[in-house]
Amino acid sequence: MRTRTWPTVWSALRLVAAAVIMTALVGQFVTTIRTAISNDRDVPTTIANFFSFFTILSNIVGVLALLGAVIWFWMRPHHEDREPAGVAVALASATTFLVITGVVYNLLLRGYPTADDHVAWANEILHVVAPLFLLIDLLVAPTRRALPWRSVLAVLTVPIIWIAYTLLRGPLITNPSTGVPFWYPYPFLNPNGVNGWGGVVAYVVGIAITFAIVATVVVWVGRLRARSLSAAKTPAR
């Protein structure tokens, strides 16, 4: 795994993974829009709602991070063997987001009634394949850079903005499927539910803690791997 061939192979696998995830995103998007048109739903709102799901956001970040890593690998100066800080933070963010997306979906949301625009194969890629690949990437990718601990704060920026956006936008949007005067991407963020705002606040606090823990673990694993690789390269005295 420390040969020159291995980084090239893994870069190619990253490119394939990005293509597979993008295919799932496009497949689900096309079906969602077609369903909205056939059911005479508001298309602009449907599009905005599609990109408001954290699953979609996290997979888009995953695609961009993987493509950024691939482009860097093929354009990098020959003396560089670790990704630049920007790519490394993007990969850490994608890993954190997708691992949480996969765990939450498979433990809490799998089995819930699906929407009429549900695409089963795309759903599995976005909730299972993509999280697993980014997790494996964290553990075996030969070009991952060790990040400083303050990178955890950078990783948390997107989820914080997304939660604020979701809670502010929700009461302003009419659900294009049911006509109710609000729309939230996930039931646990809906203050109109049984638990009200108290339940939403509890979930938000839990989500924030979960993101902080997973982001810290992701950065820690990267730092641990970097130390191991550095120790392996140091000649014995």
pLDDT of 204: 92
Pick from 159, 158, 152, 132: nearest CA to 218: 152
* CA 162 – CA 52 distance, rounded (Å): 8
Side chain identity at residue 205, one-letter code: V
Splitting the chain (237 residues) into consecutive groups of 10 residues, what average pLDDT does each group show? 75 97 97 94 95 96 97 80 90 96 85 78 95 96 90 94 96 91 91 90 92 96 81 53
Predicted local distance difference test score (pLDDT) of residue 215? 96
Q: What is the pTM of this model?
A: 0.91
Range of the domain at 128: 5-233
State the pLDDT at residue 110.
Answer: 75
Q: Check if the beta carbon of residue 113 is closer than 8 Å to that of residue 174.
A: no
pLDDT for position 231: 59
Q: Decide: 130 and 63 in contact? Cβ < 8 Å.
A: no
The number of domains in the chain is 1
Answer whether 63's CB lies under 8 Å from 133's CB. Answer: no
Q: What is the pLDDT of residue 1?
A: 45
